[in-house]
Structure 1
Amino acid sequence: MSEPDINNTIKIHSTSAGYGLAAATLIPSGAVILKISNPLLILLEKAHLASTCSWCFIKPEQPATLKSCARCKVVGYCSTDCQTDDWLAVHSKECKVLKAMPAIPPTATRGLIQLSLRNRSGDSQELVTHGKSLSPSRLEDLSLQAVVAAKYSRRRKEWLPTGLRVLCQMETNAFRVTLPDDAPIGLCFDPIMALANHSCSPNAVVVFDGRTASFRALRELKEGEEIFISYIDPISTRDKRRQELQQRYFFECKCEKCTKDENAYETYLRAREEYSAPRRMAVLCDPLANKTTAEICLHRYAQETRIPNMLQCINDAQGYLDQHLETTNDLPPSARLDFLMNLCSGPSSGINAISPYPAVLHSLYLTFIDMESWIPALICLLSIALDSDPFTYPSPHHPVRIVRLFTLAKLITQIAGLTSNQFTLALTGLSREAAGAIEDPLCELQYFGSFQVLIGIVAEEMGQAFGEGSRFAKEVVKEFALAKNSEEMKQRKLGDAPVQLGRWMMDREDEEGRKEAEKMVRGLRRLADCVEHVVGVPL
């Protein structure tokens, strides 16, 4: 039985931003602001229909285990229960429509058909349509989608304006359904969720757990305080963020970060005291040390931006990265590597949280993963987690940070289990000099202890990031239990760990355990500093 929905919001209105949401009561950091177990519309993207359960959104390791609908053969399910639930909810009406269509329709069109078949218009007078702001070609495309939806859901032509208006609302108010690692798999449209306004330094985050959508507080929210989420990736430059918001949502962002053109360090220093004490996270990212780092990096950045045209060069680097990501998806990873390495030597390189450096390094990490070059991938991700994320995502329980730490723990187990031949292959993409430079830090890394520290931090923060009963939390709980099992860790070839660490995992106040945890973090830090050898640029 699913847990009840939660709504700790009130609707507000202003002349400048229109409708919005505010906290109905004091909301602690990490608490649920809004939870909707079955949004008005939620469905898989067309590209994921063959690999993901159309009801619970579980993606099995073997897509062949999904059971396709015997009638339409478009949707698939991981269990009979999921198939029954979807049949009762909408598929009993949708199935014959999908079977009759010559091809699977675009996701938004299919969503509109579902709303029509359920007699749920989805039309909300409180949501803007921006129909007049859309290009003629885009408006024509949406009009054709409305015609298709009307035809197959057997609506009269009088319904077409309503269908078009809903599609326009979905265009700017729908959410991407994502997995914990932020990979998009579906579309969600709900009039309550859509009321939340945007900020580039948000106080709330959108989290999906299967079909359930939630807003969670990134810091404490006072009663009556407006709730802001981020519509876009916050690691881009201000020019890129504003361009994306204008093109997609038709407004110019006036949040404090944009108005002052703050970089990540400036935003962090302004707002750092708003975020909760990071508990075990302080071992990995000490707040006082972060403050000092931010001040040092700001000074260095100020020195660099005195160079003529430097700010323009930084924006150009963002443009080069965007163009690269749009045009090289089909190229082999090795072909992407040289370009990204060169981009790492550009402006703001080594000032780890200044755009576009974090995005470049993340692209490098993904490229190494595609190459199964696990060791440089680990180093890149460590550098992001330790040197960029604390400033880009200052909330210690931000889902992006927690998923990255969990991924690091899994990467460590992957590397620990490699044979000598596999270990050599896991260095692919590095020069001989770079491989030699990282040899000592890698050999000195205590795999089991490092794994325990990372899993201990993730286990403490997962509830505030995703919810205690979420799928992600269940996966973490499983790894946390294994992390306390030394025999299991030996089978994974992770070796031994100091007994004090086991005590620290159970009690973060254990002083001896904390000292051992700090020792493990120093090993991780030394490895993260090897990123300059990975990218071939002194940082």
Structure 2
Amino acid sequence: MPPQLPPTLRIHHAPPPSHKYRSLLATTFFPPGTEIATFANPLLALPDGPSMRTTCNYCLSTTTTSSSSSSGRALKSCTACKAAVYCNPSCQRAHWKAVHKAECKLFGRVREQVGKDWVPTPVRAVAQVLMLLKAGDQAVKEAFGEGGGEWELEGNVEEFRGEGEVWRDFELQATAAVVYAGLLEGEEMLGRAREVLCKIQTNAFNRLDADTGMAGIFLDAGLAMVNHSCVPNAFIGFDKRTAVLRAERPIQEGEEITISYIDNTLPKSARHEALKLYHFQCDCPRCKDDLDVYEVCQTSPDTPLNSFTLQPDLAKLRNPPIYRSRVSKAEIETIYKKWQALGNPEGDDEEDHLKLAQARWELCRPLVDARMWAVEPLPTTILQLATSWQSSYKMVVYALPLVCFLSTECDPFKLVAPFMPWRIKGILAIVKLLAVTGEFTASGALATRCTHEGLVGTLAMADQVSMCEALLRLAVHHGSVGASQDWEVLKEARSMLEDLESLVGREQESNLLRAWAKDPEDPEGAAFFENQVLRPINTLSSFAVEALEAMLSGKSLVKK
């Protein structure tokens, strides 16, 4: 069956040499957060190599195999190759019909030659395409150049050929794909495999989401036509075997749909470095005028949506309290390059990790002095410390101010739309840490192990259960706008909210929060949220920099 576009999109052709020789235009108006199109019949959708034994190879749901765990839904192995696994017989039959019938013998060859049950993701992807081409699959033929027409994917083969080390890796991967696919080796077939790999590299999407255990690639010929911008108006979310294109900003009828292929909050040179493998120079407004995250935020049409968030101060978003004159954009570029050059520590030595954190924080000192908390690499420096402290029994209490700080002073400026998945994950991180500190507070352990009197006092006075309920209502509201209803993070937030709503003796607080969630301007509900939730969140956030400075200067924050 040939590829098809959803009726909400149409293809627009622009004359070369523009890299946007094809683009997708909206056929109607889309408000922020609304679904533009769903892509549920991809050319390729597969888990990455290491996770193919813990992920259904067809629907891509993650769970456990029957041999590795007695809990959860078991995954069953293909009876022939014993490598691919499935969550039910329907998925196994569908995958067999789609591609596994052709690739099943591949895993036997892999096991025989290298003693593994999996192959690297690019190798498996190329092998699948080559076998589907051999089988005469019409959609794959049109996308990979044998059917002709407007569905053929761009490959940038000559440009990749000029990338020495990258091209050598491509040659190895293409050779492996041909060998494992059981195809006749020869320069013509190897050249075809390299071309396929270039097209996959240029057009496939990475499904990686460490928080939900999702990993692998997704390739759809129609979705691949969406062009890049560092100020995109849309974004992509993945739900198992489906990709959903959603509006990040208001999109007018006839407007081009754009997404970001990279982390678009990085400094300009880092963004352009990340785009090198796509072989075009971005000329979006962010790049053309070298706008930082604050400048993009100030003009964003999504700013009003933050009235129902942890950063409801719209005036602050439009006029951030930063000291821009204290650090130039050229200095920021230098800071980021030096920060990257520091690398990562080897092993788990706490002293090595501390030294690296100290070096990173000092590099970011000009950004700290300018109060430009949302400009990279400062937020990533804070996030890495927060992540490290979350997993430390000694430091977990101090992770709470850091995640509150990220959710109020960094993320709203970097990702203005409050329904963006990363912002919802940040809210859930606060909830989970409040659950931990709530236990410490109730048992009296907090005061015996934390040296920060302000932190201890704030948590002792706070209604941490109401804080969690309000945060979960925010997460459920915005998650329902910007993600699939089956998104694991959203389902977790809903489950936690149901548990809190079932607690006895909290009827008054819950009613006030329900009223606030239904109408953020409800006088009583809004006042309750302001006093019992937003105020303590902001107080906790205010301790973040102090805690960082103390810890990174060598001062102990934990009572002996």
Q: Quick one: which of 26, 29, 36 aligns to 2:29?
A: 26
1:389 matched residue in structure 2 = 411
Pairwise mapping of residues 294-309 of structure 1 onto structure 2 (< 5 A)?
294=320, 296-297=321-322, 300-302=323-325, 304-305=326-327
2:541 matched residue in structure 1 = 528
Contact 2:446-2:456 within 8 A present in 1 as well: no
Deviations along 1:29-79, one digit per CA (max 9) or x if unpaired, are 211122112311011111222333333333337853543334333233344
Are positions 1:512 and 2:524 aligned together?
A: yes
Letter in 2 for 1:357: L
SS in 2 for 1:223: coil
Percent sequence identity is: 25
2:273 matched residue in structure 1 = 243
2:308 matched residue in structure 1 = 280
Q: Quick one: which of 81, 92, 97 aligns to 1:88?
A: 97
Letter in 2 for 1:319: K
In 1: Cα distance, 2:78 partner to 2:106 partner: 13
In 2: Cα distance, 1:239 partner to 1:179 partner: 25
Contact 1:333-1:370 within 8 A present in 2 as well: no
Deviations along 1:151-177, one digit per CA (max 9) or x if unpaired, are 333444444433221211112221101
Cα gap change, 1:182 to 1:255, in 2 (>3 Å):
farther
> Greater shift after overlay, 20-29 or 467-476?
467-476
Unmatched segments (≥5 aa) in structure 1:
none
In 2: Cα distance, 1:419 partner to 1:437 partner: 14
Contact 2:32-2:302 within 8 A present in 1 as well: no
Letter in 2 for 1:513: G
Are positions 1:227 and 2:239 aligned together?
A: no
Q: Quick one: which of 412, 416, 434 aligns to 1:412?
A: 434
Contact 1:129-1:165 within 8 A present in 2 as well: yes
2:340 matched residue in structure 1 = 322
1:291 matched residue in structure 2 = 318
Cα gap change, 1:406 to 1:7, in 2 (>3 Å):
farther
In 2: Cα distance, 1:144 partner to 1:46 partner: 16
1:108 matched residue in structure 2 = 122
SS in 1 for 2:158: coil
Q: CA deviation at 1:514?
A: 1.3
Q: CA deviation at 1:232?
A: 1.0
Are positions 1:454 and 2:480 aligned together?
A: no
Q: CA deviation at 1:358?
A: 1.2
Contact 2:155-2:199 within 8 A present in 1 as well: yes
In 2: Cα distance, 1:26 partner to 1:289 partner: 29
Pairwise mapping of residues 133-282 of structure 1 onto structure 2 (< 5 A)?
133-134=159-160, 135-156=163-184, 157=186, 158-179=188-209, 181=211, 185-246=215-276, 248-271=277-300, 273-274=301-302, 277-278=305-306, 280-281=308-309
Q: Quick one: which of 351, 361, 371 aligns to 2:392?
A: 371
Deviations along 1:474-519, one digit per CA (max 9) or x if unpaired, are 33332332232223x99xxxx9946422433455443201111111
> Greater shift after overlay, 351-360 or 507-516?
507-516
The count of residues paired between Structure 1 and Structure 2 equals 513
TM-score (norm. length: structure 2): 0.83
Please report the RMSD computed on the Cα atoms of aligned residues, expressed in angstroms.
3.1
Cα gap change, 1:361 to 1:442, in 2 (>3 Å):
same
Cα gap change, 1:458 to 1:338, in 2 (>3 Å):
same
1:337 matched residue in structure 2 = 354
Contact 1:32-1:216 within 8 A present in 2 as well: yes
Letter in 2 for 1:453: A
TM-score (norm. length: structure 1): 0.86
1:127 matched residue in structure 2 = 153
2:10 matched residue in structure 1 = 10
In 2: Cα distance, 1:100 partner to 1:88 partner: 21
Q: Quick one: which of 69, 78, 81 aligns to 2:78?
A: 69
> Greater shift after overlay, 107-116 or 471-480?
471-480
